[in-house]
Structure 1
Amino acid sequence: MFKVGDKVACPPHGVGVIEGTEEREVGGRKVVYLRISLVGKNMSILIPEAAAETSGIRHILSEEEIAEIFEFLSETPTNISEKWTVRHRLNVDRLRTGDIKELATVVRNLSFRAKDKDLSYSEKRMFEEAFSKLSEEIALSLGEPVKKIKQRIRKILKEVQK
Structure 2
Amino acid sequence: MTPLKQTAFLPGDRVVLSPYGIGVVCGTCERPLGGQAQTYYQIEFPSTVSRAYIPVADPDCTGIRRALNAADLPELLDRLTRGSLNLPRQWSARHRLVTEILACGNPFELADLACELRRWNVQRGLPDLDRQAFRRALKLLEQEISDLPDQLAAQLCGLLQEVWNEPPNAAASAV
TM-score, normalised via structure 2 length: 0.74
Which protein, 1 or 2, shows the higher relative CO under an 8 Å CA cutoff with sep ≥ 6? 1
8 Å CA contact retained: 2:23, 2:46: yes
Q: How does 1:36-55 map to 2 (within 5 A)?
A: 36-55=43-62
Give CA-to-partner distance per residue, 1:93-121, whole Å, 9 cap, x none: 2223332211212222223322322332x
Letter in 2 for 1:5: G
The alignment's C-alpha RMSD in Å is: 3.0
Give the C-alpha shift of residue 153 in structure 1: 2.0
Q: Where has structure 1 moved over 4 Å in runs of 4 or more?
A: 146-149, 156-162
**CA distance 1:74–1:149, change in 2 (3 Å):** closer
- Aligned residue in 2 for 1:85: 92
Separation in structure 1 between the aligned mates of residue 79 and residue 137 of structure 2, nearest angstrom: 15
Q: Which has the larger displacement, 122-131 or 10-19?
A: 122-131
Paired residue total: 160
Distance in 1 (alpha carbons) for counterparts of 2:73 and 2:154: 16
Structure 1 residue matching 2:22: 3-state secondary structure = strand
Mark the runs of 5 or more structure 1 residues left unpaired by the alignment: none
Say which SS state the counterpart of residue 140 (structure 1) adopts. coil
Give structure 2 stretches of 5+ with no counterpart. Answer: 1-7
1:37 is displaced (CA, Å) by 1.5
> What residue in structure 2 maps to residue 19 of structure 1?
26
Percent identity for Structure 1 against Structure 2: 26
